[in-house]
Each structure stands twice: as C-alpha cells, then as structure tokens.
Amino acid sequence: MESKYQLAVIGGGPAGMAAALKAREKGIEEIIVLERDEYLGGILPQCIHNGFGLEYFNKELTGPEYAERFIGDLKESEIEVQDETMVIEINDKKEITALSKDKGIMKIKAEAVFLAMGCRERTRENIKIPGDRLAGVLTAGTAQRYTNIEGFVPGKEVVILGSGDIGLIMARRMKLEGAEVKAVLELLPYSNGLIRNQVQCLADYDIPLKLNHTITRIEGKDRVERVKVAEVDDNLDPIPETEEWIGCDTVLLSVGLIPENELTKGMGIDLNPVTGGAEVNEMRETKVPGVFAGGNVLHVHDLVDWVTEEAEIAASGIADYLKNERVKKENSLNLKAGDNLNYVLPNKIEYKDHNRNFVKLFMRVKKPMEEVEVHFINKGKTILKYNKDFALPGEMLTLNLPEKIIDENMKNIKISIKKQDKEDLYEK
C-alpha cells in the first residue's frame, strides 16, 4: 500500500517544520512530515541556551522555545506528522520507503519532496585521533543530549576539541554542571563560534581557548585519563616539541558537521564538495524537479533563524511548483563564489521574478576580515557593492540581490570579498 501526498518533508527539525507550515499557508493540503526521533524540533530541544530567534522573531528565545512555536503551529495545522520513522530510500520518482516504529515499512509517493535531514557530527574516527579506544570520547552534541535531555553529565574533567558553537556552548554547560573544563582547543588561528558564544561561554568562566592547538593522542585504561596536546604549524601539522599531556576523563569533539545526504545521493543528486549539500536554484530546488532542500542538509548554518527563512523560501518554491506557477528564465543566472568567499547559495537563479523584489543570498567567507566590500561582478564589472565592517567564517553573510539589477541576458555573477583598504585582521 502506497499513500500519496503532495509534499513529503524528510525531517521534523527547524527546516522541515517551517517548510511544512509555509507550504500549508500557500495552500498545499496533503503534507506529511517524517521524523526519526520521538519528538519534533531536531537539535533545538537540546539547545537549551538562549540566543535563538533574534532575526526571525525579533525576540531572544532558547532552542526549545523556538522549536515549540513551530511544534504548536504544526499541531494546530493538523499537518500529518509521523515520528519515530526513518526514511531509508527515496527514488527519482519521489517514491519514499520509510521504517516506522508503529507502522512498519511505509511506502509514500509524493509530488514534491523537501529534504531537511540536517547534519550529523564528525567523530573521532572521522578525524583519526590516535591512541586507546576508551569510554569518555564523545561528540559535543551527544554530550549535550545526555546532559540536557536524558539527564546525566558525561564527565568531570573535560578537554574540548573544536571551538565552533557547539564546542563553546558545551564548555559552558559542562562548567555550569560542575565539571572542570581544562581547555578548549582550536586547530585554526581563530574560533569559528559566534562572537557572543566566545564571550559568554569561555571568557565569562575563564576557560582557556588554545588557538592553533590539537589533540595528538588519547590514552587511558577503559576510560580516558589523559590527552596529548600540541601546537600546530602553519600547515596545521602538530609541532612535536610543543606536546604536553593534559589529564582529563572526558574528551568532547566539536570538529564539524556533515550534512546527512545519503538520501540525496540515492536520488542521483551530486553534492557540492564545499557545502556537502546539493546544488540548488533560488527556490532551493535540486536538479531533480520537485525535490527541494534546505537547512543544515543543504549547508551548515550558524543561526536557526536563517534555517527557518531558507525553508520558507523553499516552501514558497514548492507551492509554485505544485501549482505549476513557475516561468523559466531564458538564461539561468549562475552565482559563483569569487575571492575570499567559500560558497554562495543559491547556485543559480532559474525562474522569472515571481513577486519578489530580491533574491536573498547566503554566503560564507574563507577567513576573518575587517572592513570589506562585497562585489557582485558581471563580465568583470562590479554591478553592486555592499560595505561590511567585518566578515567572519563563523557568521553567515546574508545579502540581497535586487531583482532590478538582474538583466535577462546575464549568465554569471561572481561574488568577491575585497578589503576596503586596511590590512586583513589575521594576515601578516
């Protein structure tokens, strides 16, 4: 038995919830949200700290509060939510196979699919830290779930590798729960965490942040007892003379996120090696018509507010697709990352202005820079320029490309970040 829906949303985190609600608002009736966990909200319910919602709700909320706004709206909307259900395959006909705790094997045929599977964390195995195989080595997100949802603190003396937001947040969380956080180590010469987290999670508690440092070995018997820490050189290789042991019983790893795109790949969609996600047009539609993606499965976001916004952009596109209301441009306009820019999304603009005044672009810079100009370049000429006081890899750059400057014949826009005139903060 195959059930039919207009829209199947894969993942009930912030992206999936926002997309389902927006699609319903745009008149899409038959929607199902498939969620593998026992509750909705994705990572948000375990992100108990505040700082969410400032962009989207204009109000500072905690993760669970941010999630609850959408969970409550979903309940009211009566959109079908199938939790404890893991999608294992989607084929190019948009036929979905899922394993459900209460329904067994489910077969679903959808006219449109929104991919919102989010990310998983990189593990010790991914980064290959030598040493003993021990209890006490876990990803920061796992430690966060144990501490904030399941109710046990995973250690007493902690070393954290990685100063992204999850690492910083967990440093504070472990400290507040009575653990001693011996150090946060960062391989790069700067932290990729949000500024407010660097201030409020480390500086507030005098937790040392060791830049240009990594763990070269983990040792112990059954449980972690010590880690060997070394400074790294310009090539990020450990410098043997700088190695020292730090005693600890727990190592938390906050060493990056991997978009969970196995289902995407299964549909024959290639991944962009920089983002780890699919390539998409301005509606966040992949190369398979009717298959859209948004949130962390598309590219890793630093603010959930942008995830929500991106999912809503996608949902509007999904509604247009389902209602057959799209008009293709004669030429699609490719957007490319130029100097100092790691990536820009969307990758291209394929459809004509559909009551929009601009296309919102999400970008990430390669390194921290101060006093920059963002140039939109077509055929070697700057057609639009924004000034920014600073640009940080840890904070996504969002800028609008106004529809009125897009010429029907334009085929490429390259976006480059240039220094105004001062020296780059970290460049010698």
* CA–CA gap between residue 346 and residue 343 (Å, rounded): 9
* Cβ closest to another protein, residue 92 vs residue 204: 204
* Residue 56 C-beta: closest distance to another protein, Å: 12
* Residue 68 C-beta: closest distance to another protein, Å: 6
Q: Cis omega before residue 368 (within 30°)? A: no
* Cβ closest to another protein, residue 44 vs residue 341: 44
* Residue 372 C-beta: closest distance to another protein, Å: 14
| CB-based contact 40:14 (threshold 8 Å) | no
* Cβ closest to another protein, residue 146 vs residue 358: 146
| CB-based contact 115:260 (threshold 8 Å) | no
* Residue 194 C-beta: closest distance to another protein, Å: 6
* CA–CA gap between residue 93 and residue 209 (Å, rounded): 50
* CA–CA gap between residue 154 and residue 144 (Å, rounded): 9
* Residue 76 C-beta: closest distance to another protein, Å: 14
Instruction: Pick left, alpha or beta for residue 212 (phi over 0 → left; psi -120 to 50 → alpha; otherwise beta).
Output: left
Which residues contact residue 244 at a Cβ distance below 8 angstroms, ignoring those fewer than 6 apart? Answer: 228, 229, 230
Name the residues that contact another protein, by CB under 8 A. 45, 48-51, 54-55, 60, 62-65, 68, 147-151, 176-178, 194-196, 198-200, 204, 302-303, 395
* Residue 151 C-beta: closest distance to another protein, Å: 4
* Cβ closest to another protein, residue 194 vs residue 315: 194
Length of the chain: 428
* CA–CA gap between residue 43 and residue 180 (Å, rounded): 25
* Cβ closest to another protein, residue 330 vs residue 389: 389
* Cβ closest to another protein, residue 177 vs residue 373: 177
Cα separations in angstroms, 23 against 114, 224, 341, 360: 10, 48, 32, 19
